[in-house]
Structure 1
Amino acid sequence: MSTKVLQNKKTLSLKTKTIATLISVVCAVVIPQIFHILGAASGLGTSLGEIFLPMHLPVILVGLFAGPAAGAVSGVLSPLASFALTGMPFIANLPFMMLELCAYGLFAGLVSGVRMPSVAKVLVAQLAGRVVRLAALAVAFYLFDATKIAPMSVVYSVKTGLFGLALQWTMIPLTLFFVESIAAKHE
């Protein structure tokens, strides 16, 4: 991001950050439902959501645009709101998704001001989210004897979600570039 855009981001009001967080939560509920509808229509069920990871996009974006607090709050509230409204993600997966998405948003916000390529920022957020998910699964598995959810499920979810990861590597930097170019025109 350009220096001017970064300076503007630092001065975003609480109201703007709150609105950005709410928009992110709404998008993180609506976009996966589109994938679920397409999955149901094509006979694939919920697997399109597992493949394309549509809930992750708005959470990472709000972290990059509005900072770590907005990203973390969006990450916690998005799966919770989705579960309350749609029953997805499944209850057994809900706390793990809340922690993972919270980490995505938090770390995206923490690296948003660091000078590195946008795709590297996305990779940092993705890695942090998966590490947090793995740690949470390990705690549940080893300390609470939750044997139905194994830590190795992270490996499965990464394999299944490779298209979604690639989508994030392309869509998020393109969105950042688009927003930055619009912001530069209005300076």
Structure 2
Amino acid sequence: MSAQAKPYITPEEYLAAERAADFKSLYYEGEVFAMSGASRAHNLLVSNLIISLGNRIGDKCSVFPSDMRVHVAANGLYTYPDVSVVCGKEEYLEEAYLDTLLNPVVLAEVLSESTGKNDRGSKFMLYKSIASLQHYVLVDSQRVSIAVYSRAAAGSWLFQEYQGLEAVVPLPALSLELPLAEVYRRLELPV
């Protein structure tokens, strides 16, 4: 008996279904992947990150939660980062919908046991082809630690990790520093 091939879904079919759906799904290379719910820690980290960024950015940039879809035109990925930040003019796949962002400056993912390997590896490989992206922020949900990939000269990326509640993450593309004490507020996690 042979395994049946999965049907190829076009980006247009995916977007039409996604806009009508009651749940979110990722899309990559003709396949659709359902997204699962999140833990209390994950949700608090996302909320704290959005509040902390929003309070520091003011009106110069927009901070979006995971309901803002991001499209990576270079490789066809459609996904929902936990947090997206765009500065300047927002660019969308279709102006009629304003639901698929093309030019984030910062993307953040909260790592869990089930998503951490993918967020650190293949997802970063796909994200880094976004020309506007300057920082990819990985927030650990198991301990007080934030890792940041920052775009450097000649297309290379620098990696830095920040640990402990007294640490502060510099995000030069946003002209701000992000205190870990704010991101991990109301969570008791090891360092």
Q: TM-score, normalised by structure 2?
A: 0.29
**Structure with the bigger percentage of strand:** 2
Could you say which structure has the higher helix fraction?
1
Greater relative CO (CA pairs within 8 A, separation 6+): 1
Normalising by the residue count of structure 1, what TM-score does the alignment of the two structures yield? 0.29
